[in-house]
Structures are given as C-alpha cells and as structure tokens.
Structure 1
C-alpha cells in the first residue's frame, strides 16, 4: 500500500517545496483519515500528498529534518516491526 503523509505542521525546504514537520501520520490519499484512524479534519492535520511515507522516516527519509515524532500506530499499520529480529520459539512445548 502506498501512503502519503499527514502532519501537525509544515515548513518550506530550500527548494521552495512544502514539507511536513512535527508529528507525522500515514495517510492514504482519497480517504479522510489516517492509517491509525484519526480524522484529518478534527485533528487539524495538514495533508502532504506529494510526500511519500518512506520519505519522513527519521532513519532514511529525505524530508525528515523537521519531523519530531512518527505515529507508532501508523508505522505498525504500514508494516514496521518493533524490532528487526524475528520471533522464534526457544523451548517448544512437549
């Protein structure tokens, strides 16, 4: 699933492109809510349909300079795991 970004604030980068800032949420264009089910209107979130969800991740994103927090529920809904290690059973039941 491709998701865009909804955020609590915005800033303008040196190229003159509007970018998200503050807390960011995953948003599927064409819907009126985020992946974590927040209403865009009631939460007063700004839409950034030109910014991809992967671009605001602090570790790898190109427009993550002003991002303060990434919504954990949206990140989980988009496939991020708490840790990279896979779960394995160490002591199987008899």
Structure 2
C-alpha cells in the first residue's frame, strides 16, 4: 500500500499540490471538497475497478483514474481560485 502511494504521489505531485491549495482557498466550492473526498475514498478503498492483487494492472487503474479525476476537478475551478492555487504551487 505504501509503495503504491509513493508512486502515485510522484506522478501527481504538481496537480495534487494545486488541488490542495485550491481546497484551502477561502472561496473553495463545496463540490471541490466533495470531489476530493471521493477521490481519496477511491484511492484508499479496497474496492477498485481492477483488483490490486493482479500484478501491475491492478495498480494501473489508480495511476490512470486518480490523476484524470484530479485534472478534471482542477479544470472546473473558478478562474480566481485556479489562478491563486497555481501561483501558490509555483511559489
């Protein structure tokens, strides 16, 4: 489990940090918090689309779906929150 999280964090570092800063923004919408909670629930849930017990392919669904979901949320941010989160991420 820890190895999977380490690999996922390496892949997602930039988008995950931007999402974190967007969540901490005072005007962060409720749908952003709900979407992030659902992503975290999927990531930590033992129930996956493809079971993790299958070598390689079991982790691939996490490595594909989670980044896509995070990117999807980030693209729907209000412009002022997206800009503030991007500037915090860069700095």
Q: TM-score range by the shorter chain?
A: under 0.3
Higher relative contact order (CA 8 A, sep 6+): 2
Return the index of the structure with the highest Cα Rg: 1
Q: Which has the higher helix share?
A: 2
Structure 1 length-normalised TM? 0.24
Structure 2 length-normalised TM? 0.25
